[in-house]
Amino acid sequence: MVSATSSSSSAAGRRVALLTLGCARNEVDSEELAARLHADGWQVSTDGEGADVVLVNTCGFVEKAKQDSIQTLLAAAETGAKVVAAGCMAERYGRELADSLPEAQAVLGFDDYPEIAARLDAVLAGTELPAHTPRDRRELLPLTPVARQRSGVVVPGHGGAAETGRPADSALLADEHTPAHLRPVLRRRLDSGPVASLKLASGCDRRCAFCAIPAFRGAFVSRTPDELLAEAEWLAKSGVRELVLVSENSTSYGKDLGDPRLLEKLLPQLAAVDGIVRVRASYLQPAETRPGLVEAIATTPGVAAYFDLSFQHSSEPVLRRMRRFGSTDRFLDLLATARELAPDAGARSNFIVGFPGETRADVEELVRFLSAARLDAIGVFDYSDEDGTEAAGLPGKVSAATVKRRYDRLAALADELCSQRAEERIGATVEVLVDSVDGGVVEGRAAHQAPEVDGSTTLVAPEDGTVDLTALRPGDLVRATVTGTEGVDLIAVPDGMISAAPRRVG
C-alpha cells in the first residue's frame, strides 16, 4: 500500500526487484524508494525473477556487510537484469565501487533518491550514468542542529509529498506548508508482517573512533512528531501492530527540534495510535539515556520495557579511546535503574573486542560486566580497521590471533549468559506478539525480543488441550507462561488473548 496514487509513465509495466541488505534503517529507505518507483508506474517486488532492473540497497558498515553486498550484486547480474547499486556502500564508495564492479550498470548515491524512477528509466534505456562521487555528508548540513530542519539536503527515509509533487489519494496537493498529518506518506510496504520500523531520525553527531557511519549518513536530523504520528497511523491501517523506532542514535531525537526530551513525550503518543499494541525504542546511547527516558520506556503502557543500549565495551580506558563514555559500574547502575522500574525489562547490547590498545585487564573488565549485567541478547564483534575512521590510525593494534582468541572466548560467554538469562524467565508471564503461523507452528516475540536479533518465543498448546493454537493469527497479542527455553528462545503456553489482530473478511 502506498498513499500516493500511481501515474502513467513510460515506465508502465516495467519491473524492479528491490533487495535490501543491512539494518532496519535501510529497510525503511527501501520502502521510500519503493513508493517513489510505484508512483511512477514501476511494478515493485522483492523477487528478482523476471525483473527488468534489480536495485540493491547495500550495506557498507563493516567488512562482512560489504562482502555480502558485493555478492548480492554479482548474483543479481547473473539473472540477466540490469543491476543498480544504492544504499550505504554505494554512497560511501561511489566511483571506487563502480570501477571494481562492472556488473553493476549504475552506482547511485542518496542524492539520486528523489529521482530514482528517472535513474532506472535511464539505466533500462542503456544510458550510462556517472557514478556517485562520495563526500562527507556531515558537511552538507549546518553545524548547529536546530538549523538543519529546512536545509533541503536529501535524507533517506525522510521523504515527503512536497518532493514528489504528486497528489494524494484525496487529490490533495501538498507543499512545505501542508501539515504533516495531511501529507501522503512516501512509503510502500515490501512485506505484510505485523511489525514495521519507523525511522525517528537519520545521521549521527557522535565521533566514535571506530565508526564511519556519520561520514556517509551525515549529521543528525530528526523527523517531526506530527510526521512520525502520521506515518504510524498509516502503518497501523496497513496491519502493523508493533512499531520499532530506529535511527543511528535515538537518544538524540529532538535536539535539533529544540527539545532533547522529545522522545519520552512521543512514546505515549505512538502507543496510543489505534491498532498499535507495542512500541519499541532501539539504538539508545548509554551516555545520553536520561532518567526521564528510562522511566518512559519502563513504565508507559504499550511501550516495550526494552533497552537496546550501545555499550560497545565496559572498560573505561577502552571506551575513552573509542571516544565514548561510561564504565562497568555506571552501566550496571543504568540497568539497575531500569529494572527497579520494570523488573522483567529486556536489555541487549553489542561489544567490540580487540580494539587498539585493549589489554587483558580490559577484557577481564568486560567479562565482569557481562557476567553481572544479565543481558537478554549480546552481540560480539571482532575489531577490524574501517576506512576513514580514527581507530584505523591508532597505535597499539592487537594481533589478529589475539583478537580471534578474545572473540571466541567472549562469544562463547555471551551464548552461555544469554541462555542463563532466558532460563531465568521460566515461569514468568510474557506478552507475545504473534509473528507467524506456519504448519501449526506459532512463532512470536515477547517484549524483550526485538525482531530478528533477540530470539523468539514459540507458543505451544498445553497438554490438557484447553488452548486452540489454530485460532491464532499474525498480529495477535497474547499472554503466555514461559515453560522452557532453547538457547535465547522461549517456549510458552498461551493463557489468553490481550488484543486480537483485525481479521480480514473474504
Say how far apart CA 391 and CA 321 lie, in whole Å: 8
Q: What is the DSSP string of 118-153?
A: HHHHHHHTTPPPPPP----GGGGS-SSGGG-TTS--
Q: Which residue has the cell 504533516?
A: 180
- 55: cell is 536495485
Parallel, antiparallel or unpaired: strands 106-107 and 441-445? unpaired
- 145: cell is 542542529
Does the annotation list 418 as a binding residue? Answer: no
Backbone angles phi, psi at 251, to 5 degrees: -70, -15
Say how far apart CA 322 and CA 210 lie, in whole Å: 7
Q: Is 451 helix (H, G, I), strand (E, B) or coil?
A: coil
Say how far apart CA 425 and CA 414 lie, in whole Å: 17
Candidates 111, 116, 134; CA nearest to 55 is 116
Does the annotation list 204 as a binding residue? Answer: yes
DSSP label of 475: T
User: Is 430 within 8 Å of 490 (Cβ atoms)?
Assistant: yes
Say how far apart CA 343 and CA 363 lie, in whole Å: 28
Say how far apart CA 303 and CA 264 lie, in whole Å: 11
The CA R_g of the chain, rounded to the nearest whole Å, is 23
H and E: helices and strands count for the chain: 14, 18
Q: Can you give the three-state secondary structure of 193-228, one letter per residue? A: CCEEEEECEECCCCCCCCCCHHHHHCCCEECCHHHH
**Cβ contacts of 377 within 8 Å, gap of 6 or more:** 348, 349, 418, 450, 453, 454, 455, 488
Say how far apart CA 466 and CA 495 lie, in whole Å: 9
Say how far apart CA 442 and CA 475 lie, in whole Å: 11
Binding residues: 23, 59, 88, 204, 208, 211
Numbered residues of the known binding site for [4Fe-4S] cluster: 23, 59, 88, 204, 208, 211
